[in-house]
Structure 1
Amino acid sequence: MTSSAPPTVRTEAHRRLGVPAVAFMIVAASAPLTVIAGGSTSAFSVTHVLGVPFGFLVLAAALAVFAIGYAAMSRFVTNAGAFYSYVAQGIGRPAGIGASVLALIAYNAMQVGIWGMFGFQVSSFVEAKTGVAISWWVWVLVGIAVVAVMGINRVDLSAKVLGVLVALEFLVVIVFDVVAFASPAEQLTAAPISPAALFVPGVGAVLAFGIAAFMGFESAAIYGEESKDPKRTIPRATFLAVGVIGVFYTISSWALALAVGPEKILDPAGITAAEAGPPLFFDFVYARLGAIWVDIMSVLFITSVFAAVVSFHNAVARYAFSLGREGVLPRGLAAIRRESGAPWAGSVLQTAIAVVVVLAFAVGEIGWDPEIGPFPVLTLFTWLTNLGAFGLVLLMALVSVAVLGFFRRDARDVGVGSRVVAPLVSLAALGTVWALILANWDVLLGQAETTPTSFILPAAILVPSAGAVLWGFWLRRARPEVYARIGHGAEQQGAPVLGDEPAGT
């Protein structure tokens, strides 16, 4: 008699992802076209700092250093819980549970927040082309349904879809870059990629804006259990992604600076409210390439946002799967599809969260003054994506500490540069960026002054995470069998535990 219970153990047949597939997942989460047409334009509009492109280089270098220690640890820890497992094995199980809640809130915030931009862009585009006005949240619910179907199917299907979308994004941004360098608004200059252009008043806000462009780069480890050779695939995909993203964003934001014009960027009154944000990009495209290219890039802007929500959806589903498997969350969340290994229960959970939050914001829109600006962009998108970036930068700083702790008692033949120097440098860099995000919170939210939101949003991620750490200590006393599995779920499927956690935890 065979059991009808859903499987929770992956097999070799479920290992389908190679380096390119995982790298595409990472780059898709970063949404290249959205970053250039949305994030970079907003950074220029708000900060009036010409050195935004050099800021991308600085951040890419910091994340590359982080990836050295992260890649070294990934050789010994393969778990769909990714950073949660790293923190649990490098710092301690209670800290690991805190990191798991931090990750779940941050990834959900990024995924659900990006839906706000998706809904607004689709609604605006359809209305412009057909005259039919359909509320943004209707398009979001349609998109959530499509992502839900993709989320419960084979992960390599998602990778193939994302691969096509990302390739098209790169193509159109490259077209923009070529035109901008060939026909700049003012003059061709290398000033935007000089350190002097970045390290001016406002550098903190630039780095705080810029780090959000890289969110998703850290997600490679989430796919470790579905990779063909995780010990090679995950490090290579991570370095490939951060290299491609860093260079591409630097060159493309440089092209954007030329398209806008350095003098206009540096003038506090140079960019009007009507021009701020994506219009800086699309107005240049219209003037130089015509309406057809604006339409093409508008559609790909939408697919860029869609690719990002698919990638973050997959990340949440795999965190839920890992925590369910280890008993930290209900075990039903560990259910996977027998044929594909996709964590369908975690996928359904993320879909439900997205629907509830989107509908809550749809109700909250009642009474909103349209003269203020687009509600889903100024609230759902801005609030939640900045909250997600805030949480994920803190999570990466914790992983830097975890790398130090993991190799402290057993170097495992890993060089001192990878296990000590790199994590110390990345801890300092990421800790600084995290502090800058907190210090520039009102700027990132587009607020002229501090409001209750300035305190509520950080508290929404920090308070539950701190509470989860305390819950971890309770589990150690009350449910030791669950406590023992924290951060080691994949290893306890049959493979030996590859490292004890630090003494006293």
Structure 2
Amino acid sequence: MTETTDQRLTGTLGPGAIVFMVVAAAAPLTVVAGSVPLGMALGNGAGYPAMYASAAVILALFAVGFVAMTRHVPNAGAFYSYVEQGLGRGPGLGAAFLALATYTAVQGAVYGYLGFAANELFVSYGAPSLPWWLWTLVAIAIAGLLGFRHIDLSGKVLGVLLIAEIAIVLLLDLAVILKGGSDTEGFSTGVFQLDTITAGAPGIGLMFAIAGFIGFEATAVFRDEARDPDRTIPRATYAALAVIGTFYSVSAWAVISGWGENAAVAEANANPGTMVATTTENYLGSAAGHVVQVLLVSSLFACVLSFHNVLSRYFFALGNANVLPSRLGRSHPRHHSPHLSSLTQTACAAALLLLFAATGLDPVTEVFAWLSGAATLGILMLMLLTSIAILVWFQRSRADNRFWQTRLAPGLGLIGLALSLIITLQNMPLLVGGSQTLALTIDALLVLSVVAGILLAALKPSASTALLENTE
């Protein structure tokens, strides 16, 4: 087998399969059951569904430049490849390290929540209570096994899990619509009223909404395994944004309508963790409430499996670039998967979660909350860097002179992302339990990851230039 074959991934993924993996990473049921009540309680109440539409618009503007540049960056490294093309080797490697930190954070957050949710599920059926980290290790092992195999297998597993979790939420949405909303107020109209949308803390609401989209940009990571990358990646990116944005907006509106605006806000403040399960029981019966519990666990697993695949491909691309050990940049001779990168990612995830368990951190209020906050900030930093790189590259290269695709839309997206980043920084203590010290520590670690990449580019220039050489 030649060296070239050793360092390439293969697949026949179409837009639908990639959308499945990207939407699975967004964990739709987890967002509806977890983020929607919190966004209402801490954000702008009955106007919160509008924040998903606002987030989708900001990210769609970003995506215009992102997909326009995709054909000029034929590399599975995604964000860091774009940043290196536009801003140079140092910022490119800085973005690569920031991406690793960000996706590791979001995966660790969900693994913590998954261990807790799995234990609660089995206890509810009479099983003995076990440490949350045992369930987490089981999930890590399964994700590692699937990640070792060809990407098509993960795509099929994610497809089944995703259809199941979306189906139960759509059934709830339909039940609320057919009943006409709550008995006292009918359908919620707050999402269409400016005074309701801007009430409370809409900035915090927008922050929670953007967090629900984390992972949509990973379409470009699967470039080497797409059937026709230049057409598949743009279609998958826009489709993922449309599906996620519409699903979240409608489902959040349906949950509010199911209670009535005042009662929904009160319930979100009193019982955010069980609000959606209770709503499902009210409209679809107690059996459906149990189904939601089961599907919440499968939703969390689908999320970590998707991010496992994304992280493995980052390790693979960095191995190909000689930034990380070159062995990580080799694919399996039969499965054509980044098998060594997958094994490395599995070991790293297990070590991180065992560290959290050894220090006695709570899997939800600390592991999930803290790492989710770090991931939200990290993804905004990454997209901001990428937006700047896209604008600079098109201005310098003149490879595409379409004004909307290469200047106006990316510029508007840059403004929206910058405002969102400022809002997130201001509210970071809220995401990490009110600790200003912890918030500043997370900020510093993310910045240091960028600095580490820049320093590596200076100390080992051959590693960073390989990123561009591998795109040829």
Q: TM-score range by the shorter chain?
A: over 0.9
2: CA distance between counterparts of 1:330 and 1:7? 18
CA contact (8 A) 2:29 2:169 kept: yes
Give 1 or 2: higher helix fraction.
2
In 2, Cα distance between equivalents of 1:29 and 1:96: 24
TM-score, structure 1 normalization: 0.89
8 Å Cα contact 1:85-1:488 kept in structure 2: no
Alpha-carbon deviation of 1:183?
Answer: 5.4
Pick the aligned partner of 2:345 from 350, 361, 385: 350
What SS is found at the alignment partner of 1:133?
Answer: coil
Matched, 1:68 2:64: yes
Q: Which residue of 2 aligns with 1:503?
A: none
* Alignment gaps of 5+ in structure 1: 369-374, 492-505
Aligned to 2:8: 10
Deviations 1:333-376 (A, max 9, x none): 112111222111211121111111111111122xx7xxxxxx20
1:132-154 Cα offsets, whole Å, 9 max, x none, are 11111111100100000000101
Within 5 Å, which residues of 2 pair with 1:45-444? 45-47=41-43, 49-181=45-177, 182=179, 184-185=181-182, 186-187=184-185, 188-266=187-265, 270-271=266-267, 275-365=270-360, 375-444=362-431
1:64 positional shift: 0.8
- Contact 1:192 1:257 (8 Å CA) reproduced: no
- In the superposition, relative to structure 1, how do residues 292 and 265 fare at CA in structure 2: closer, same or farther (>3 Å)? closer
Deviation at 1:48, TM superposition (A): 5.1
Alpha-carbon distance in structure 1 between the residues aligned to 2:412 and 2:381: 15
Shift of 1:191: 1.4
The list of structure 1 runs, each at least 4 consecutive aligned residues, that deviate by more than 6 angstroms after superposition, is none
Mapped to 1, the partners of 2:61 and 2:127 lie a distance apart of: 50
Distance 1:193 1:332 in 2: 54
**What one-letter code is carried by the residue in structure 1 that aligns with 2:6?**
T
Alignment of 1:20 onto 2:5: no
From 440, 443, 446, the equivalent of 1:455 is 440
Contact 1:193 1:254 in 2 (8 A): no
1:445 aligns with 2:445: no
- Tell me whether 1:490 sits opposite 2:471 in the alignment: yes
Residue-by-residue CA offset, 1:302-356 (whole Å, 9 max, x unaligned) = 1111110011111110011101101111112112111222111211121111111
Given the two structures, how large is their TM-score scaled by the length of structure 2? 0.95
Question: What amino acid maps onto 2:411 in structure 1?
Answer: L
Match of 1:486, SS state, is: helix
Q: What one-letter code is carried by the residue in structure 1 that aligns with 2:366?
A: T
SS at structure 1 position matched to 2:396: coil
Counterpart-to-counterpart distance in 1, 2:28 and 2:268 = 25
Cα distance in 2 for partners of 1:414, 1:137 equals 52
Change (3 A) 1:189 1:265: closer
Counterparts of 2:70 and 2:30, CA distance in 1: 29
- Asked if the contact 2:30–2:300 (Cα under 8 Å) also holds between the matched residues in 1, the reply is yes
Instruction: From the superposition, tell whether residues 194 and 339 of structure 1 become closer, same or farther in structure 2 (CA, over 3 Å).
Output: farther
Deviates more, 1:467-476 or 1:33-42: 467-476
- Supply the RMSD in Å over aligned alpha carbons: 1.8
